[in-house]
Chain A
């Protein structure tokens, strides 16, 4: 079953002199359960593509279907809700909230959705990520790898339909 379909996606940044065509009519699809890696030279538009698929940015033209739904038909609010439930985003730079501890950072998406947090689920997640002893630490007290794992935990906690990771291993080699 097709879980993701990208159709003629185009993204152009800037105007006139400073204009950059980041994506030029990109199309492809991904099946459920598939693991896809997108590789390319730096500056080739990988992050841009990821952001568009994640609904974090809007394209200049083209469509993205996740689980059959045309995500850019949604208004901003519905897109946000969709995103928090269906998509897990892991970034190049971890984008953790510096004043929340590990546990709080991980449960952030659930909290936004006003969903109750099941303590067992959290414990399991923390064990899986090897962060069980660090649950109350702030990001500035963690190593780069631990921060990235927190970020991954945040992406996974809602059991999303699709997980997008933007060069997640860049920073910390083989730990993962």
Chain B
């Protein structure tokens, strides 16, 4: 091997500690990039998995494909796999309570399609022949038809056609009766939009009586199989792949290369010109009508109807650009850039140190005739050896770290059962390749500057050994006070730091960066957790049930009798207009009210359920019998006023109206009913469940009075309980098979809390690793600088400096360095944290000064520097003075 390279290796071996520390720095940097990339690819893979599970495993679906064409699609090089279904036909469901869904659509799936088109079995098993059938859950919840597993059902299955005899599909909705639909402006009553339609004129012909055995129940199919306005409930039966007839629906998955140009591939399958089709499908740039018609005709010639699963295609081809993931992708790129830049900075310093140490050697090599290029290559050779160890180790540890993180994330987010998305671990080879490339770039950029510098070292510099000390024309004075407090050792330290600014600059910057990011992050996290607290305190109820179906009211109200419920409100609300309203002057002084009308429009009116109403009335000190035919007004509103003069924001609680007990006021309800209400009382407090209503006035009526004048479709029940999850389970049990919405406030807050914990883990993990990279850098700087000054120290000792004075000198250097770093780092960090607060915090939250973070930073910095210096000092003190001086002459 070339001597020069041998030299490099020997050097590395000699400075084992520094070599290892530098390798660790590289390893950490590569590991971080790998972990980030792996987390990202895991995220994308999980999304894709989830999407496939929920919506079906296909890229493009072709409907109405004749059986004779199937082999063409099967053998198409661009198509990886196909899943077949066949519409057997429609059958009328006499008992469907949903006017818009009067049919059953019997759809046959092959075994393979049953596994790949998001068919989720809730009960029973999958059909194995064409006499077995599955029914969807929403048949019961939506259509109110109850059928059970094991029952037999007979359907007259046929073709659904309109009055012209044209076949209709699930894309053609059913209109149960003539209608006119009007949307008007709420304030002016001006008609904005009017639509009318006729009842569907269609029938089912060529019916055949089919008897099926129900073998299972499935979840409502994805919108790709049954869209929301489809007129038929999908009944799933078995399709024998060896016995295909008629027209089929083919759900295809394109190959990896084909899906990258999915539009071109689809165009080829349809037999349409590629460019035409791409323009035809470009929603952003619609074609002129004639062009569109022309291409549309071409497309229709194939006879297929096409349905693209754009979201899945997007996820699989351009995850970074894909909606929903886009932001995440951008974040990942930004994070990687931060990592690379910080790493380059730290690792570069390691190389600089290694080179500084070898200035003499390089100079000597140059003096005996090494070219600049040889020196440069030598440095890069050193870099590549370090990379050879650092990068693979980094990749392995990065993958491992990502794996652990995925497990932790999964644990913390299990509360998020509603979406059912599970984070799975997936490492793409592209991600690893990118990490390797970035690692190489990092190392190269770190080393190249040092390499160039090394090459520039003139032989004379090394001989004279003056290189790194800046020659300033003027003398460097150290303040007398330094000498007084710290003695001659202090003076030397101070001068050393002043002259060798460059050497320590990167150490100082490393510390500054770590400290400021740490303080900023800490503030961010405390802010986040404050927000969570806020959210939890926003409501006084623990569970909220919302029902839109009148038939369920009774059952819903029964839930209030469950065990564990401490308080509840059965809340119904509507709105009314107060005619010729009397406002409180104090209120109108501060808040602008509409001058177009003398009324107050859309004031909320509510009923609380008998029991809660009685409770409430009692708590207000009123008599139930007195007020049950009167109105209770709560109008003590929270308003925020921006005082432009004083430039401050002030919160008030002012009554909106000028009514008192006994007054009468006229109202008009939403369906034009009018009434004259007497004020039964002015409330100081809101009823249970309404805590967040302090911004709007509320008129409370007894249930009887409410029902007299108005109605609403929505029933809301607020619950207070100590055991929210049990009550939630009980309610779910009581209301199963119906359509309702139940919210668990605690669970939500817990979930948000978990999310923040997770974010915290990521952020703190990130900052810790970056700091570690910085620490490796600092370690290298300090230890090497100590070593380089071996001679100096030995000389000081030989002229009689005591150990105590010596130690003091060293300690002083660390103090100076630490102070300098903190003097920059703390203000920058605090500034960053204030910026975060300013942009992110919602009103009412005070700026949490990061005193704890600052204290931690100070302690950490000094601890770090002291440890490192002690370590180096230990080594120096062990040296034999004479030998050191002698050895310097080599």
Q: Once the chains bind, are A17 and B473 in contact (CB under 8 Å)?
A: yes
The number of chain B residues with a CB under 8 A from chain A is 31
Does residue B372 face the partner (Cβ distance < 8 Å to A)? yes
The answer to whether A14 and B7 touch (CB under 8 A), given A57-B460, A83-B367, A99-B14, is: no
Flag whether B186 is at the interface (Cβ < 8 A).
no
Fill in one digit per residue for B3-18: 1 if any A CB lies within 8 Å of its CB, else 0: 1101100110010000
Among B294-302, B358-366, B437-445, the stretch in contact with A: B358-366
Interface flag for A154 (CB, 8 Å): yes
Partner of A98, one of B367, B458, B890: B890
Query: Cβ of A77: which chain B residues have Cβ within 8 Å of it?
Result: 371-373
Mask, B264-281, CB within 8 Å of A = 1, is: 000000000000000000
Contacts of B460 in A (CB 8 A): 51, 56-57
CB of A95 within 8 A of CB of B367, answer yes
Q: Chain B contacts of A87 at CB under 8 A?
A: 369
With A56-B460, A99-B11, A107-B3 as given contacts, are A154 and B368 in contact (CB-CB < 8 Å)?
yes
Partner of A112, one of B6, B374, B471: B374
Q: Tell me, yes or no, whether A61 is within 8 Å of chain B by CB.
A: no
A-B interface contact total, Cβ < 8 Å: 92
Report B-chain residues with C-beta under 8 Å of the C-beta of A113: 369
Q: A56-B463, A99-B11 are in contact. Are A112 and B368 (CB under 8 A)?
A: yes
What's the Cα separation between A80 and B376 when bound, in Å? 14
Contact B369 A85 (CB under 8 A): yes
Which residue in chain B gives the minimum CB-CB distance to A15?
B473
Which residue of A18, A97, A140, A154 is within 8 Å of B887 (Cβ)?
A140
The answer to whether A80 touches B3 (Cβ under 8 A) is no
By a CB distance below 8 angstroms, the chain A residues around B199 are none
Bound Cα distance from A54 to B78, whole angstroms:
71
- Whether the Cβ atoms of A89 and B367 lie closer than 8 Å is yes
Q: Are A18 and B890 in contact (CB under 8 A)?
A: no
Number of interface residues, chain A, beta carbon within 8 A: 40
Q: Does A26 contact B (CB under 8 A)?
A: no
Interface status of B889 (Cβ within 8 A of chain A) = yes
B459, CB-defined interface residue at 8 Å: yes
Known: A16-B473, A51-B463, A139-B890. A100 touches B7 (CB 8 A): yes
Determine if B370 is an interface residue (Cβ-Cβ < 8 Å). Answer: yes
| B369-A84 in contact (CB<8A) | yes
A59 CA / B213 CA spacing, docked (Å):
104
User: In whole angstroms, what is the CA distance A127 to B460 when docked?
Assistant: 31
Q: What's the least CB distance linking B810 to chain A, in Å?
A: 25
Contact A104–B3 (Cβ < 8 Å): yes
Contact partners of A80 in chain B: CB under 8 A? 366, 369-372
How many angstroms between the C-alpha atoms of A111 and B471 in the bound complex?
Answer: 36
A72 to B523 Cα, complex, angstroms: 61
Task: Name which residue of chain A comes closest to B455, CB basis.
Answer: A76
> Across the interface, which residues of B come within 8 angstroms of A51, CB to CB?
459-460, 463
Q: Which residues of chain A in 77-104 are interfacial with respect to chain B, using CB atoms and an 8 Å cutoff?
A: 77, 80-85, 87, 89, 91, 93-100, 104
Selected from A54, A91, A98, A112, the residue in CB contact (under 8 A) with B370 is A112
A76: B residues at CB distance < 8 A: 371-372
Which residues in chain A, 96-149, are within 8 Å of chain B measured between CB atoms? 96-100, 104, 107-109, 111-114, 139-140, 147
B803 within 8 A of A: no
Min CB–CB distance B463 → chain A (angstroms)? 7
A18–B361 CA distance with the chains assembled, in angstroms: 28
Q: How far is the CA of A33 from the CA of B887 in the complex (A)?
A: 36
Inter-chain contact B370/A84, CB cutoff 8 Å? yes
B749 → A minimal CB distance (Å): 63
A108 and B3: CB pair below 8 A?
A: yes
Complex Cα gap A112–B361 (Å) = 14
B369 cross-chain contacts in A, Cβ below 8 A: 80-85, 87, 109, 112-113
Q: Does residue B477 face the partner (Cβ distance < 8 Å to A)? A: no
Chain B proximity of A14: nearest CB distance (Å)? 7
Beyond A56-B463, A112-B374, whether A96 also contacts B365 by CB under 8 A is no
Query: Which of B361, B366, B371, B373 counts the most chain A CB atoms within 10 A?
Result: B371
**Contact assessment for B890 and A140 in the assembled complex, using a CB-CB cutoff below 8 Å:** yes
Task: State the Cβ distance, A52 to closest chain B Cβ, in Å.
Answer: 9
Cβ of B2 under 8 Å from chain A: yes
Pair B473/A111 contact, Cβ less than 8 Å = no
**B890 surroundings in chain A (CB, below 8 A):** 93-96, 98, 139-140, 147
User: Is there an interface contact between A95 and B360, defined as CB atoms closer than 8 Å?
Assistant: yes
Pair B10/A18 contact, Cβ less than 8 Å: no
CB distance from B306 to the nearest CB of A (A): 66
* Complex CA–CA separation, A47 to B473 (angstroms): 24
Given the interface contacts A109-B368, A112-B370, A139-B890, does A57 sit within 8 Å of B458 by beta carbon? yes
B residues near A97, Cβ cutoff 8 Å:
7, 361, 364
Find chain B residues with CB under 8 A from A104 CB.
Answer: 3, 6
What are the interface flags for A54-84 relative to B under an 8 Å C-beta threshold, 1 for contact and 0 otherwise? 1011000000000000000000110011111
| Chain A residues within an 8 Å CB radius of B7 | 97, 99-100
Q: Which of B2, B11, B371 has a CB less than 8 Å from the CB of A111? A: B2
Name the residue of chain B whose CB is nearest to the CB of A78: B371
CA distance A99 to B366 in the complex (A): 17
Q: Chain B residues near A82 (CB, 8 Å)? A: 369
A113 vs B460: C-alpha distance in the bound complex, in angstroms?
21
Quick one: which of B339-390 are within 8 Å of A by CB?
Answer: 360-361, 364-374
Contact between chains at B471 and A18 (CB < 8 Å): yes
A76 to B371, CA, bound (A): 7
List residues of chain B with CB within 8 A of the CB of A107.
3
List A residues at the B interface (Cβ < 8 Å). 14-18, 51, 54, 56-57, 76-77, 80-85, 87, 89, 91, 93-100, 104, 107-109, 111-114, 139-140, 147, 154
10 A-B contacts, Cβ less than 8 Å apart?
A: A18-B471, A56-B367, A57-B458, A80-B366, A97-B7, A98-B890, A100-B7, A109-B368, A111-B2, A112-B370
The chain B residues found within 8 Å of chain A, CB to CB, are: 2-4, 6-7, 10-11, 14, 360-361, 364-374, 458-460, 462-463, 471, 473, 887, 889-890
Known: A56-B458, A95-B463. 12 other contacts (CB 8 A): A17-B473, A51-B459, A80-B366, A94-B889, A95-B364, A100-B6, A100-B10, A109-B369, A112-B365, A112-B370, A112-B374, A113-B369
